[in-house]
């Protein structure tokens, strides 16, 4: 929009590579995304916050700052690395003394076993919020059964339409 007394800046160019990891971006419908899901540091940070949220593993102490520190220090390179952290590892992070590190590690270890619906929510499956995660868990009862489900079986779940079923189906088949 022209403004009196101001020069127009350079024309905006949509990036072709992820600014966080350099992976070639892909278009999915109206969105341009980095497909490098957990290997992209920016996505891994957001995933850790989501995983640790109260509807997921419910790990108090893992917010934006801690997630960033865990990824930047390379203590966590994929979500499962959370469960390998020891007190000494966490103490390497900024603002973590022994007591706070022990508290975080204890919270992580106590979250090792959670109900299936919370695990599904924590996975961050596309189109899967709290309600859909509950419906999937109620319907399939086990992760293996959900992973084997056909597109038609996913659409048979109450509240799961074709778009959500397709997104969940594809996400569960990612390597």
Q: Predicted confidence band at 94 (pLDDT cuts at 50, 70, 90)? A: very high
Q: Is the pLDDT of residue 157 over 80?
A: yes
Q: What angle is formed at CA 154 by the lines to CA 125 and CA 114, rounded to 5 degrees?
A: 50
**7-57 pLDDT, tens digit each:** 888 888 889 999 999 999 999 888 899 998 878 999 999 999 999 999 999
Q: What does the alpha-carbon distance between residue 103 and residue 90 come to, in Å, rounded to a whole number?
A: 10
> Which helix H or strand E contains 130, and what residues bound it?
helix 130-140
Question: pTM of the prediction?
Answer: 0.85
Q: What percent of the chain has pLDDT over 70?
A: 100
Q: What does the alpha-carbon distance between residue 168 and residue 162 come to, in Å, rounded to a whole number?
A: 10
Q: What does the alpha-carbon distance between residue 152 and residue 49 come to, in Å, rounded to a whole number?
A: 32
Question: Per-residue pLDDT averaged across 59-80, rounded?
Answer: 96
Q: Residues 157, 131: contact at Cβ < 8 Å?
A: no
> Which helix H or strand E contains 28, and what residues bound it?
strand 26-28
Structure tokens at 150: 């056909």
Q: What does the alpha-carbon distance between residue 159 and residue 155 come to, in Å, rounded to a whole number?
A: 8
| Sole residue written with tokens 């102490």 | 61
Q: Is the pLDDT of residue 175 over 90?
A: no
pLDDT of residue 37: 82
């Amino acid at each position: 929009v022209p403004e009196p007394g101001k020069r127009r800046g350079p024309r905006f160019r949509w990036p072709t590579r992820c600014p966080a990891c350099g992976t070639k971006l892909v278009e999915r419908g109206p969105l341009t995304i980095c497909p490098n899901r957990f290997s992209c540091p920016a996505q891994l940070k957001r995933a850790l916050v989501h995983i640790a949220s109260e509807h997921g593993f419910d790990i108090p102490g893992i917010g934006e700052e801690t997630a960033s520190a865990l990824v930047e220090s390379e203590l966590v390179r994929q979500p499962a690395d959370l469960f390998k952290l020891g007190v000494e590892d966490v103490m390497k992070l900024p603002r973590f003394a022994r007591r706070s590190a022990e508290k975080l590690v204890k919270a992580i270890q106590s979250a090792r076993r959670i109900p299936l619906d919370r695990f599904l929510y924590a996975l961050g499956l596309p189109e899967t919020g709290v309600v859909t995660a509950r419906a999937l868990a109620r319907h399939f009862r086990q992760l293996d059964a959900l992973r084997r489900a056909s597109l038609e079986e996913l659409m048979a779940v109450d509240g799961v339409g074709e778009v959500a079923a397709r997104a969940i189906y594809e996400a569960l088949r990612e390597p």
